Amino acid sequence: TYDRNTYSYDTHDADLFNVSHHDDQTIRLYEERLIANKVRRKVGDVTVGKHVETETERVSVPVEKERVIIERVTPTDAGRAVAPGEAAFGEGEVARVEIYEEVADVHKEAFVREEVRVSKVVEEEIVSTSETVRREELDIDTEGRPVVDRPNSDRI
């Protein structure tokens, strides 16, 4: 004897009820999923160069100059008589003095003022995007009163 729990259409009376696994049909349900990839693209260029600016700069340099002072002085033996032949009157006696002055000698020299280092760093950020995806769902229509075991969830 068989009861509801022990009877199987697959093993007993399969021909009677026309049950065969050869008659099973499979329906595939498809869905789209978002697959994230990355593409590297050029967004621009940065050019770092230099140019020359000119400006007028002033510098003060202390300089020395010599000057000649000529003054008349009364000798300590003024008014004393000179022995004959001691005084030589004549022209051509000259006192010569060389005069010097300092002149500012300004020249330019180049010095390192600053260094600029140009480099790149990679920063990571999270970019969120949304897209509409499609999914096939199972539709079960019945006519009459057949017994159908439906899955608990339409999404597996």
- AA letter at 88: A
| Distance separating alpha carbons of residues 36 and 43, to the nearest angstrom | 20
**Who has greater pLDDT, 90 or 49?**
49
**What percent of the chain lies above the pLDDT cut of 90?**
56
Q: Is the pLDDT of residue 5 over 60?
A: yes
| pLDDT of amino acid 64 | 97
| Mean pLDDT in residue range 78-103 | 88
CB 32 within 8 A of CB 135: yes
| Distance separating alpha carbons of residues 49 and 60, to the nearest angstrom | 34
Phi, psi of 31 (to 5 degrees): -145, 155
Query: SS3 sequence, 104-135?
Result: CCCCCCCCCCCCCCCCCCCCCCCCCCCCCCCE
Q: Is the pLDDT of residue 38 over 90?
A: yes
Q: What is the pTM of this model?
A: 0.47
DSSP one-letter string for the chain: ---TTT--TTTSSTTTTT--GGG-------B---------------------------------B----------TTTTPPPPTTT----S---------B---------------------------------B--------SS------S-S--
